[in-house]
Structure 1
Amino acid sequence: MPDPNIHLWHVELAKDADADRYLPLLDDTELAHAHTLSHPLIRQRYLAVRGNLRLLLADYLQQAPAAIGIARTETGKPYLPAHPQTVFNISHTARHLIVAIAGHCQLGVDIELPSPRPNLAALVKKCFADEEAAYWHGLPPTRQTLEFYRFWTKKEAFVKATGRGIALGLKHCVINPEQPETFLRLPDGYGEATTWRIIDLTATEQLEGHGLCGAVVVDSLAQVSWERLVKD
């Protein structure tokens, strides 16, 4: 993948799509998992997410969707063993899927649909560092929900980029409240905070119109390039 940019694809997943049309695109592992899903909506979303991911990857790799080998690291991060120069990450919430595809780098993406929750303060105590928590508690109540999700998606995108997931400890992935596109501190073993970039997607036209929060975290100087909207 010679293009140095991070390509972001936004897929709007249909409510009543014929998800079974994606079955021929999936590999045996995905098909086996799909057969274990008894809830119709969960099964439909799973097939649509995996099918759209494979369709997009097929275009980049010039392979049939079902022939693309997708493996997972010991900690569960998906990768392309036959195409190590191409990396990808996905996130989905409600009816929205984001697929991020880039050249060789460590890449994570996360999107969330902000919604008021009675336990936000408890989550802040558990997952935010002291600097982040002080900033959040100092916000007007009308801003706290949105700002919580803006911090959360950045932390999630980082732990997804590392491949460790939330087991890495969200509290140790510390965002600078004064410069929220940068980290203050990171867990040991993941380099200097300045080697990682946060790209906030929340205010972009592609997400803001749907009320979504989102972020990309990457360990390179790559820029984000939004590709066309895909309708499921």
Structure 2
Amino acid sequence: MDSKFDHEPIHSSDRGRAGCDSILWSVPLSHPLLADDEIHVWCATLDQAPSYRGKLAETLSEDERQRAARFHFEGDRRRFIVGRGLLRSILGCYLNIKAGELAFCYNPQGKPSLATPLQIHFNLAHSHNLALYAITRRREIGVDIERVRPVSGMKEIVQRFFCAAEATHILSLPEEQKAEGFFNCWTRKEAYLKATGEGIAEALNQFEVSLRPGEPAALLHDAMNPTEASRWALFDLKPARDYAAALAVKEQLLQVQFGQWTADISNQATDH
């Protein structure tokens, strides 16, 4: 579901660093209501206390537990359990449904949705120990996050997978900005494809996004759907230092709210 461009493993040295990631977004005083013209984006750490992780695990479906059991490394298994448990917790708060009662279905590319249509659309992504969850009403949405890091063989990758203009822009950036430009491009592309439901199997070089550091996120052109670019909005997200993240939605005039999801928010929603 969360396919990564270079499939970089989390090595032992990275595990310690990922656990220290600090989320920049604030924790709201209470769980906010979702208006029709809003998108809520939550960032959460996947490094949760064992007691809370156990509560989240109890909400998983049998197929999710089977998927968790197939992970080779314990850290990856824990992150999957927390990631899916948090998704259930967040959606349960919006829908006033117990987290364990939610059921999901998946499109051929693996994008999840609620099995019972409830006018809520969502998408999720993770990188190392951080996860993003985007929630909205009656519109498809896509989100992606990546830790910015050196990319081995960047020139070959961008020339093979990105469109010519994107490759030129990335390779012309100052050396210290190349990785940020690369992951700006990648997260915006994946967010767009996840929103359309097509997944990254589609030709990445058939559409162009903005990518220069400091440049507003935008879908510039889609050769497969030439009239679509003006209908889509891309948002640059900054949930933590040294991370690139993006949100894609097929509607321009929307309000986006950001927050850090914690166990306390779930408890407050459950108590009301």
Q: Same fold judged by TM-score > 0.5?
A: yes
Query: 39-48 vs 191-200, which deviates more?
Result: 191-200
State which of 73, 80, 87 in structure 1 corresponds to 2:107: 73
Would you say the 8 A contact 1:15–1:95 is kept in 2?
no
Offset, 1:84? 4.3
Instruction: Indicate the residue corresponding to 2:244 in structure 1.
Output: 213
SS across alignment from 2:50 = coil
2:263 and 2:127 map into 1 onto residues whose CA distance is 15
Listed one character per residue, the Cα deviations across residues 169-228 of structure 1 (whole Å, up to 9, x for unaligned) are 2111211468652222225258521111110114xxx33xx3211000110132210134
Deviation at 1:130, TM superposition (A): 1.3
Larger deviation: 77-86 or 15-24?
A: 15-24
| 2:229 corresponds to | 193
CA distance in 1, matches of 2:143, 2:193: 10
Partner of 2:43: 10
Within 2, Cα distance between the matches of 1:191 and 1:17? 49
Q: How many angstroms apart in 1 are the aligned matches of 2:227 and 2:119?
A: 21
Which of 216, 224, 229 is 2:256 aligned to? 224
Asked if the contact 1:182–1:194 (Cα under 8 Å) also holds between the matched residues in 2, the reply is: no
Structure 2 stretches lacking a partner, 5+ long: 1-33, 265-272
- Give the aligned partner of residue 183 of structure 1: 219
What is aligned with 1:82?
A: 116
Q: Report the counterpart of residue 165 of structure 1 in structure 2.
A: 199
Moved more, 90-99 or 25-34: 25-34
Q: Distance in 1 between matches of 2:110 and 2:154?
A: 27
Tell me if structure 2 keeps the 8 A contact 1:14–1:231: no
Q: Residues of 2 paired with 1:71 and 1:190: CA distance?
A: 30
> How far apart, CA to CA, are the structure 2 residues paired with 1:186 and 1:134?
18
1:135-192, CA deviations, whole angstroms, 9 ceiling, x for partnerless residues?
1122111111111111111001011111111111211121146865222222525852
Q: Name the amino acid aligned to 2:234.
A: I
Aligned length: 227
Q: Which letter maps to 1:17?
A: P
CA RMSD of aligned residues (A): 2.1
Identity rate, percent: 29
**Normalising by the residue count of structure 2, what TM-score does the alignment of the two structures yield?**
0.77
Per the alignment, do residues 188 and 139 of structure 1 end up closer, same or farther by CA in structure 2, a change over 3 Å counting? same
Deviations 1:9-36 (A, max 9, x none): 1101226635333221111211121222
Task: Provide the TM-score with structure 1 as the length reference.
Answer: 0.89
Cα gap change, 1:231 to 1:191, in 2 (>3 Å): farther
